[in-house]
A and B are shown apart, each in its own frame.
Chain A
């Protein structure tokens, strides 16, 4: 019995909790990608770098706050800096839209042209982010590192295995729930949100109904900036910030959006968790877990790892391929692109 509990605690500590936190981050990122796809109708290759930019501003402002001795106690100072990063990201995206995307929208260019333009934007965002914060790893987490410490858990339960929950993981999940609820409330309940959905559904009829496309697009970019900055900051708090890592997040994020059904906000959330959980489950070494469950003589010699952690991107890809083969529109029946 105790062995079983130990095994479960081990699994929660190294699989369940990290996967949920990572899933929340991916979900927020994928929600941004899917909103852009739904309203502007292209896959935005600059999304990872949008996240990096917003997070870079948050980090810079966090450092400044820390220098001033301003903080949130046990909570990371970055939460205080978040609005500044969001504002900067909104500004960046709106300027980009004005100078780059609007032109192609007005001419009703095919989506692939917009995708190509987003590659150009990606280069520029990359340069800007590296310019303001460099290419290196940045850590900006402060406050209390753990909400639940291994020692406390052991003392509390008397188990061999400890369970630790980091503050950043709790914050990630709480913030994700709040933000996603707010976004869904906005989309489902407000006039502007409904107009956004209407525009995404049927552009011509939306124009006929007097919905202002420029306004819809602007609101979309603002939402995307908020989501991207929050997703990036949470990821940075949970792991660490490095511009290139954020660029690489593009793959799992896109995979999440497509797996969930592109253009479907609910799908993006589901897809984010599917991708994150599979990634962690597949790359976890189950040796310790099995050791608790089977008799000593059966204990595995190897790590019992399905795939090395270096192959985590392969997991997103494999899930993506499986879903595309089994159900090409994704879990929530998105558009076929």
Chain B
């Protein structure tokens, strides 16, 4: 029984189904990565797990609880953090205000959490009075991740966190994600940069046309000749 599981999920945005019975699961302290070709439904699977899409069939369970009927907002309260692919920071708010907004649903003192985020991303502490819109792409992604961490989530979901950043920044981000997983948070992410992502993944899902094609540990998938040939470019 996995900590977070989206089981046999089927559904779409009205019209044809995009997901056809795919299953995604992740354990606490682990990193699960969804890869696959364009249009395979990677982001859709992620959104389905987070409740931004109504499922026709299948269910989502968090820590044994069925959360299929919850709205995204309620899932945030239940312990899930989500970092969208685009527009994932408040550009006109300062870095610190972004983090504060991340903690909006918390009524307790969140200064400790903020200190943890600053420890994780020291550059943010330096720039905390700057509007997030003035930061570089990689720094913005750090703000976005930091914002999602402010609720102390048990699961952190990242939709293509490295889209549009340089390779150096990408490596740095993946390092941070490993650090986050090490604190016991379950991490589920969708990645275009499949090879690098599978490198850090405990578990990898290769989706094709909305269903699971291969599921294994990241290392095993990287070693699998068929996966390499079809999805990793040789």
Contact = CB atoms under 8 A, between A and B. Distances in A.
B81 to A, nearest CB: 9
B183 to A, nearest CB: 21
B72 A202 contact: no
Given A191-B100, A210-B76, A204 B84 contact: yes
A202 B91 contact: yes
A201 B88 contact: no
B63 interface: no
A195 B102 CA distance: 10
Contact of B90 (A191, A205, A210): A205
B104 A197 contact: no
A200 B93 CA distance: 10
B105 A208 contact: no
B230 interface: no
A201 B92 contact: yes
B90 A208 contact: no
Given A208-B73, A209-B147, A194 B101 contact: yes
A115 interface: no
A209 B101 contact: yes
Contact of A210 (B77, B92, B97): B77
Contact of A201 (B77, B91, B105, B151): B91
Interface size range of chain B in the complex: 20 to 34
Contacts of B147: 209
A197 B90 contact: yes
Interface of A is mostly: helix
B87 interface: yes
Contacts of A211: 101, 104
A210 B89 CA distance: 14
Nearest to B91: A201
A308 B144 CA distance: 55
B101 A195 contact: yes
A195 B105 CA distance: 11
A210 B73 CA distance: 6
Contact of B93 (A197, A204, A210): A197
Contact of A206 (B84, B97, B101): B101
Interface string B83-126: 01001111111000100111011000000000000000000000
A198 interface: yes
Contact of A194 (B82, B93, B105): B93
B91 A194 contact: no
A194 B99 CA distance: 11
A209 B73 CA distance: 7
Interface string A173-211: 000000000000000000100110110111011111111
Interface size range of chain A in the complex: 10 to 19
A202 B140 CA distance: 14
Given A205-B87, A205-B90, A210-B77, A195 B104 contact: yes
A210 B75 CA distance: 10
B91 A208 contact: no
B100 A208 contact: no
B104 A209 contact: yes
A89 B36 CA distance: 56
Given A208-B82, A209-B102, A209-B104, A198 B77 contact: no
A317 to B, nearest CB: 29
A194 B87 contact: no
Contacts of A194: 93, 97, 100-101
B84 A201 contact: no
B90 A202 contact: yes
B84 A205 contact: yes
A195 B100 CA distance: 9
A180 B101 CA distance: 24
A198 B72 CA distance: 18
A202 B87 CA distance: 7
A286 B56 CA distance: 76
Contacts of B76: 208-210
Contacts of A197: 90, 92-93, 97
Given A194-B100, A202-B91, 7 more contacts: A197-B90, A197-B93, A205-B88, A206-B101, A208-B73, A208-B82, A209-B105
Interface of B: 72-73, 76-77, 82, 84, 87-93, 97, 100-102, 104-105, 147, 151
Interface of A: 191, 194-195, 197-198, 200-202, 204-211
8 nearest CB pairs, A to B: A210-B105, A201-B90, A198-B101, A201-B92, A209-B104, A198-B90, A209-B101, A210-B104
30 contacts: A191-B104, A194-B93, A194-B101, A197-B92, A197-B93, A197-B97, A198-B93, A198-B104, A201-B91, A201-B92, A202-B87, A202-B89, A204-B87, A205-B84, A205-B87, A205-B88, A205-B90, A206-B90, A206-B101, A207-B72, A208-B76, A208-B82, A209-B102, A209-B104, A210-B76, A210-B104, A210-B105, A210-B151, A211-B101, A211-B104
